[in-house]
Amino acid sequence: MNDAKNSIPAELSTPLPSETQPERKLALLEAQTRRHFLLRATGGLGAMFLGTLAPLGLPAAEVSADGPDRIDIRRDPKAPMGVLPPQFAPRAKRVIYLHMAGAPSQLELFEHKPELTRFDGQDCPASLLAGKRFAFLTGVPKLLGSQYPFHQVGQSGQWISDRLPNLEMHIDDLCVIRSMRTDQFNHAPAQLLVQTGNPRIGYPSLGSWVVYGLGTQNQNLPGFIVLISGGNTPDGGKQLWGTGFLPSVYQGVQCRSHGEPVLYLNPPPRVSAPERRRVLDAMEEINQQRYADFGNPETLTRIAQYEMSFRMQMDATDAMDIRKEPDSVRASYGCKLGESSFANNCLVARRLAERGVRFIQLYHWGWDSHGSSARESLNLGFVERCREVDQPIAALLTELKQRGLLEDTLVVWGGEFGRTSMRENRGGQVMKFVGRDHNPGAFTIWMAGGGVKPGMAFGQTDELGYEVVKDLVEVRDLHATMLYLLGFDHNKLNYPFQGLEQKLTGVKPARVVAEVLA
Amino acid sequence: MIASLRSLSERFRFGVILVPLLLLLTTLLLAPPDGIERAPLLQFVGRFHPLSVHFPIAVLLIVPLFEFLGRKRNAPFLLPSVNFLLLLAAVGAILSAALGWCLARGGGYSGPLIRQHMWGGLLVAAASLICWRLRSGDSAAPSRFYLPMLLLAIVLVSFTGYRGGQLAHGETHLTEFLPSPVQRWLGPSSRLTSVSSAGENPSTFYGGRIQPLLEGHCVTCHGRNKHKAGLRLDTYAGVMRGGKHGPVIKPGDSKSSELFRRITLPQNDDDFMPADNKKPLSTSEVKLIGAWIQEGASRTLSAEALAALPANDANRLTTEVTFPDLDPAAVVRDRTVVAPILSRVQLRLPNIVEYESRTSADLVVNASWLGSKFGDDELAELASLSPFVVAADFSGTAITDRSARIIAAMKKLHHLRLAHTAITDSTIAGLGTLDQLESLSVFDTKVSESSLPVFTSLARLRKVYAGGTRIPQDVAAPSQVREKLVF
C-alpha cells in the first residue's frame, strides 16, 4: 500500500502550510490523476481494503511542523494576516521599497567613472561587446561619459552626481550597493526577477513572501500595499505584486493615489452600513458552506478580503489622506494635492509605515533613458525623473529618522538593471537625444535603515562601470539579505509547490551579504 | 588423439594456472600502486575487488574444515571435493588479486598498508596453488608438506584480510572498540596510533585544532594509505601542496579555497566532502577551518590567536552570517511562565503583542496601528506581561501619564516609542529604571527639558527622538545628552 506509484506524491504527505482538514482533502483530490486512479484500480479489492487502512498507517501529521527545512507558517484560517513572529530577532519590521521602473542610469547617479568620461565619444572596445545581447545597441557604439558632474559628500565621502541634491544630504544613512547584477535585459522579466525572484510570471512577490511569513499588524489595512506614479504601470504588470502559488490573500493591494484609494469600499448610495453588514454576513455563510464542501483555501481568502474591505472603509481613507498632514510636511515632500505623484506616494508611505503596514511598495515609472525621445533621454526626461524623486525620498528619510522609525524600517531604492557605458545607437545612427541601453551586467541600488550599515558603499565595477569586478551581489543575494534583516533564513521560508520547496531566492544558493549588515 | 590432448592438459594443468600468477607477479613488480589516480575504467573494474575477495577467503577457510570432518567416520564424502576447493581458491585469489591491483593502481593508493595487502594477496594465491599441487596426487596420503602449507595459506589469508579491512574501514577498525582492559593488556602499540600527525605541535592552531579535524574526517581517503585525487591531508606539507587538480588551500581566502568549498557545499552535491555519506563536519568545525584559512593557513599561528573561535567574533574572519538554530524544547521551556498570560492577553488584544521571534520568550508590543482606540485601559491589560516586553510602540495612541507605571515596569525594554501621544515629563521621570533602554521616541509630545536628566542617567540610551517636543533644538545641555538627541 505504500508503493510509490500508488500513493499520493510525497510532498503532500507532509503537512501543508495553513493546513486544515478540508484543505488536505482538496490537495489529495487535486493530486489524483487518471493514472493514479487506474493504477489503484489494478490493485483490485485487496488494495482497496489496504487503502482503507492507509489513514491509520500513515503518520503524516506527526512530522514536526517547525521542521528543520521549513518554518511553520500555519494560522487560523479566519485570520490569514495574523501576526507571526519571525524565525529569529529581526533588524527590520517593515519595508518601503522604492522601485524606479525603467532602470535609472547608475552612471549618472552613483557610479563615478572618470575613465569613462576620458574615453567619451570613442568606439567601444570589441571585448565589451563580444557575446553580449542588447535590446537596441547595434554595430560598434561609442562610449558615453557621465552626463553630470560628480562630487564627494558626507562623512563617508561617497561620490554622487549633482542630480540628487536633497538625497545627498542623507548619504551617510545610505548603504549603496554598486555591484548588483541580473541576468535579464528586458524590463518585464527583469522587474519580475527583482520583485519575485523569477523572471517568469507566477511566483510570489517579495512583499507577498514577507506578509506570508510575518502577517501584518494593522488588520484594518492590507499588509502589502502598492502605490504607482509616473503615469504608467511598470512593464512587469500586476504580477509584480502577485502572490503566485501562495494563498492569494497575500498579494499586494494597489491603491489609487488620488480620489478614493480603493474603489467600491464604501457602500453604494442608499445602502446603509447595517444593510451592507447583513449582505456580508450572508455571503460569509455561503462561502463557509462552500469551504466545508470543497476545502479550497481561496474561499477563506475571499471571506477575509470581504471582511477587510469592510474594516478598511474608515482606515484606508484616513491613511491615504495626505490632507491630514500639515502644510509644512506636504511642502517638504513637494506634494501637490489632488495629483498622482511620487511625492504624494512617499508621504502616504510614511503614513502607512506608522500604521503598521508591513510592506509598502512604490513604483515610479519613466526611467528608461534610451535617448529615443525627449521623455526617454538622459538630457531631458532623466532630469525630470530625478527632480520628481529626489526631494520626496529625502523628506521620507528625514521623517522616518525623526520619528525613530528608520531604526526598524528597511528602505530599498533601485531599478531592475543598469544602463550601458555606451551611448545608444538605435538603428546604427546617432540619435537626437542622449541615452543608454539596458545593462544587466551592473547596476546600483541602495538600502537604508532596518539593520543596514549606514554610510557605506559596497562592491565595485570596472573602470567603465560596465561589469562587476568585486563583491558581486546577485538579485537572490539581495533577497536573502532582506529576508535576513526581517528575521528569516531564506532557505526555511519556503512553500511546497510542484514538488519543490519553493522559495523567494530560487534553487541556486543565495548569500546573505553580511558586509552590509550593521 | 583426444586422449593424448587430455593427458597433456592433465600434465600442464598446474602450468595453466601458474602462468596467470606469474603474469600478475610481473604486473605488480612493473606497475605497483603509486598513489596516482588513473583511468576510470580501471577503477570501475577495481571496485569489484571488495566484492569478489570474500569468495577465495571463504573457500580457503572451508578446506581445513572439510579435511577435518572428512577424516571422521560419518563424512568421508567431503574429502574428494577438497582438491576442487583448493583449485577454486587459487583461481579466485588470482582473480581478486588482479582486481585489487586495478583498484590500487587506478584509485590512487600507496604506502605500506597497500603494499603488504598486495603481496599478501599474491602469496595467498601462490600458497593455495601449491596446496592444490601437493594434494592433487593421492588424496588418501597427501605430501607431508601439505599440512604446513595449508596452515601457512590460512595465516596469510587472515593477515591479508586484516590489512584489507584496515584499508577499507580505517586502521583501527578492529581494535577501536576493543574493551579497554584488553587494550591496556595489549599495550599502547596495539592501538595502531601510527597514523596520527607526525610531530605537529599541539599548541599551534594547526596542530591543536585543524590537524585533528582533518584526521577525524579526511585522512581515511586523503592520507598515508589512500590519497584520492592525489591529495594527502595527513601532513601540513600535503595540505598545502594540494592534489592533482592544484592547491586546495588559498591562504587568506577561504572562499576560493577548494577544500573549504567542498566542505561547505550542500550535502547532496556530488562534490561534497566527506564523500560517500561519511560524517560531515559540524558547523563550528567548518567555521574553524574557514577561520584558519582566512588568517593565512599558517602552521605556526598559536592556538590562542584564534582561541575565541568559533564561539564568537567569527564574522570578523568569514563574512558569513549564521542562522540561529531553533531548539523547540528549549523555547517551550523558556516560555513556560509567559505563554499562558500571553495567550490570554492575545485573545483580548489580538495583533498587539507577539514573541520577538520563534526562538525567544521576549515580547514585542505594537499598539500604534490602533491609534485612538488604544488607551490607558487597554494598556492596563498588558500589565501582567510588562516584565517580558523588550520593545514597545505606543505611537499615536491615546495613552496618557496614567500608564506611566506600567511602562516603567517594562524593565527589559530596549526600544520604546511614545511619539504623538499625550504623555509628559512625568511619564519620562518614571523611566529612570529602564536601564536596558537604547532608543526612545518622544517625537511630537509635550516632553520638555526637565526630562533631560533622565536621558543622561540611562547609560545604554543611544537615541532620543525629540523632534516636535518642548525641548529646543539648541538646548543647552552637556554633550553626552546632546549626542543622544535627534531632532
What's the pLDDT tens digit per position in B381-403?
A: 999 999 999 999 999 999 999 99
Asked if A492 and A101 touch (Cβ cutoff 8 Å), the reply is: no
Test B328 with A515 for CB contact under 8 angstroms.
no
Test A87 with B439 for CB contact under 8 angstroms.
no
Q: Between these two residues, A39 and A416, which has the higher pLDDT value?
A: A416
Asked if A385 and A410 touch (Cβ cutoff 8 Å), the reply is: no
Long-range Cβ contact pairs of B5-12 (< 8 A, separation 24 or more): none
Instruction: Choose the closest CB to B320 out of A218, A404, A514.
Output: A514
Q: Is A316 exposed, middle or buried (0-12, 13-18, 19+ CB in 10 A)?
A: buried
Asked if B352 and B365 touch (Cβ cutoff 8 Å), the reply is: yes
Q: SS3 for A422? A: strand
User: Across-strand partners of A98?
Assistant: A362, A413
The pLDDT of residue B356 is above 90: yes
Measured CA to CA, the distance from residue B340 to residue B346 in angstroms comes to: 10
Chain B residues whose CB is inside 8 A of the A83 CB are 351, 354
Q: Between these two residues, B227 and A285, which has the higher pLDDT value?
A: A285
**A64 inside 8 A of chain B by CB:** yes
Chain B residues whose CB is inside 8 A of the A220 CB are 369
Range of lowest pLDDT (A79-83, B99-103, B173-177, B410-414): B173-177
Amino acid identity for residue B291 in this structure: A
- Position B318 scores a pLDDT of 45
Q: Which of residues 381-420 of A touch B (CB under 8 A)?
A: 401-404, 407-408
Pick among B351, B355, B416 to test the A interface (most A CBs inside 10 A): B351
- Position A402 scores a pLDDT of 93
A194 min Cα distance to partner chain B (Å): 22
Domains of chain A (ranges plus CATH)? 10-62 (no CATH), 94-265+300-516 (3.40.720.10)
A355 min Cα distance to partner chain B (Å): 4
**A238 inside 8 A of chain B by CB:** no
**Cα diameter, chain B:** 128
Q: Please state the length of chain A.
A: 518
Cα distances (Å, whole numbers) of residue A506 to A445, A500, A501, A516, B424? 21, 10, 9, 22, 51
Chain B residues whose CB is inside 8 A of the A512 CB are 320-321
What is the overall mean pLDDT for chain B? 83
| pLDDT tens for each residue of B92-107 | 999 999 999 888 888 7
| pLDDT tens for each residue of A252-267 | 999 887 777 777 877 8
Q: How confident is the model at residue A158 (pLDDT cuts 50, 70, 90)?
A: very high
Q: Please state the length of chain B.
A: 487
Range of lowest pLDDT (A8-22, A319-333, B238-252, B354-368): A8-22
Q: How confident is the model at residue B144 (pLDDT cuts 50, 70, 90)?
A: confident
| E runs forming strands in B287-427 | 353-355, 363-366, 389-393, 415-417
A176 min Cα distance to partner chain B (Å): 18
Q: SS3 for A385? A: helix
For the stretch A232-259, what's the b/e string if a residue is b when 16 or more beta carbons lie within 10 angstroms of its beta carbon? eebbbeebbbbbbebbbbbbbbbbebee
pTM of the model: 0.68
Which CATH number is B329-486 given?
3.80.10.10
What is the overall mean pLDDT for chain A? 87
Q: Between these two residues, B138 and B467, which has the higher pLDDT value?
A: B467
Report how many helices (DSSP H) and strands (DSSP E) chain A contains, helices first.
13, 17
| pLDDT tens for each residue of A445-482 | 999 999 999 999 999 999 999 999 989 999 999 999 99
User: Across-strand partners of A181?
Assistant: A474
Q: What is the ipTM of this complex?
A: 0.82
- Summarize the confidence of residues B259-272 as an average pLDDT: 84
Chain A residues whose CB is inside 8 A of the B358 CB are 66, 71, 85-88
**CA-closest candidate to residue B298, choices B251, B343, B253:** B251
| pLDDT tens for each residue of A56-97 | 433 333 333 445 678 888 887 778 888 999 999 999 999 999
Whether a cis peptide bond, with omega within 30° of 0, leads into B310 is: yes
Measured CA to CA, the distance from residue A373 to residue A380 in angstroms comes to: 9
Q: How confident is the model at residue B19 (pLDDT cuts 50, 70, 90)?
A: confident
Q: Between these two residues, A66 and A41, which has the higher pLDDT value?
A: A41
Q: How confident is the model at residue A35 (pLDDT cuts 50, 70, 90)?
A: confident
Measured CA to CA, the distance from residue A286 to residue A344 in angstroms comes to: 40
* H-run or E-run covering A502: strand A500-503
- Summarize the confidence of residues A285-307 as an average pLDDT: 85
The answer for residues whose C-beta is within 8 angstroms of residue B144's C-beta and 6 or more apart is none
Instruction: Choose the closest CB to A85 out of B321, B358, B415.
Output: B358
Looking at chain B, the whole-number percentage of residues with pLDDT higher than 90 is 36
| pLDDT tens for each residue of B267-303 | 778 888 888 777 778 777 888 888 888 888 888 877 6
- Summarize the confidence of residues A156-177 as an average pLDDT: 95
A424-433, A485-494, B179-188, B216-225: range with highest mean pLDDT? A485-494
DSSP-assigned letter for residue B429: H
Test A82 with B358 for CB contact under 8 angstroms.
no
Nearest-Cα residue of chain B relative to residue A408:
B415
For the stretch A58-85, what's the b/e string if a residue is b when 16 or more beta carbons lie within 10 angstroms of its beta carbon? eeeeeeebeeeebbbbebebeebbbbbb
A89 min Cα distance to partner chain B (Å): 5
Q: How confident is the model at residue B23 (pLDDT cuts 50, 70, 90)?
A: confident
Q: Indicate the pairing of strand A436-439 with strand A418-423.
A: antiparallel
- The pair phi, psi for residue A411, each rounded to 5°, is -105, 130
- Position A425 scores a pLDDT of 92
